[in-house]
Copies of this chain bind each other. A is one copy, B any other.
Amino acid sequence: MLYLHLFIEMNKTESGSEKSIKVQLIIEVAQRRFGLYGVEKTSMQEIADDLKLSKAFLYYYFPDKERLYKAVVEKEQNEFLARISEKILNIQEPELLLREYVSTRLSYFRTLLNISRLRLEAYSDLKPVFRETISLFKEKEKEIIVRIFEKGVSKGIFSIKDPDQTASLFLDLLKGLRISVVNDKKTLFIEQKEYDRLLEKTIAFTDIFIKGLKIK
């Protein structure tokens, strides 16, 4: 396994970002194609053609297509987390924070949907490699929400018994609302109109939820 050293480097997501320029290039090209046509409708050959290199070149840097997909998803995740972190630094009010989180998260959702182009619930039959990535992201997400909630509690604004549980409930509701509203049916790509409706509902939901958390 010639690529082993590279693969290990890729996976230490913490020190990350030390990916060679070539790996980054592949990811970017893949990201674009995935974004346009989805993973399933993108062949490794096409990505190689974009780069004007051979298909075997890709397999020199990535063990398989799934790992490349994973890398793209992780890049998107990091971009999302970066955006959120930036906002967290500048905003003090937990209420506003939550609202910012929600809208940023929504646009991330749209990107992800474009990349995967799978029915939404296809989340279920994903490979172990992915479960890891997804659950890691979920944890990070929840951590952010928990912190926002705790901030609200310590500021005497929110009344929350179990911030951890409430956070995962909140995320489940957001996810559920997404699924329930965009009912992907045949179209499979999210339309602007649907997205707007989702945004509207999400905001209305957040308002009520926040009010439900507030101390009377």
Residue of B nearest to A179 (CB): B179
| Interface membership of A118, Cβ < 8 A | no
B-contact bits for A13-43, CB 8 A (1 contact / 0 none)? 0000000000000000000000000000000
Residue of B nearest to A123 (CB): B183
From known contacts A178-B176, A186-B125, infer whether A169 and B201 are also in contact, taking CB-CB under 8 Å.
Answer: yes
Q: How many residues of A contact B (CB 8 A)?
A: 34
Q: Which of A119-139 contact B (CB under 8 A)?
A: 119-121, 123-125
Q: How many angstroms from the CA of A187 to the CA of B165 in the assembled complex?
A: 26
Contacts of A169 in B (CB 8 A): 201, 204-205, 208
From known contacts A204-B165, A211-B211, infer whether A184 and B124 are also in contact, taking CB-CB under 8 Å.
Answer: yes
Q: Which of A155-194 contact B (CB under 8 A)?
A: 165-166, 169, 172-173, 175-181, 183-186
Q: How many angstroms from the CA of A201 to the CA of B167 in the assembled complex?
A: 11
Minimum distance in angstroms from A215 CB to a CB of chain B: 9
Q: How many angstroms from the CA of A121 to the CA of B110 in the assembled complex?
A: 19
From known contacts A121-B121, A210-B212, A211-B211, infer whether A172 and B165 are also in contact, taking CB-CB under 8 Å.
Answer: no
Contacts of A121 in B (CB 8 A): 119-121, 179, 183-185
Minimum distance in angstroms from A119 CB to a CB of chain B: 7
From known contacts A208-B212, A212-B209, A212-B211, infer whether A180 and B172 are also in contact, taking CB-CB under 8 Å.
Answer: yes
Minimum distance in angstroms from A24 CB to a CB of chain B: 34
| Interface membership of A213, Cβ < 8 A | yes
| Interface membership of A216, Cβ < 8 A | yes
Contacts of A166 in B (CB 8 A): 204, 208
Contacts of A165 in B (CB 8 A): 204
B-contacting residues of A (Cβ < 8 Å)?
A: 119-121, 123-125, 165-166, 169, 172-173, 175-181, 183-186, 201, 204-205, 207-214, 216
The 9 closest A-B pairs by CB, nearest first: A176-B176, A212-B212, A176-B180, A124-B185, A208-B212, A211-B212, A176-B177, A175-B180, A172-B180
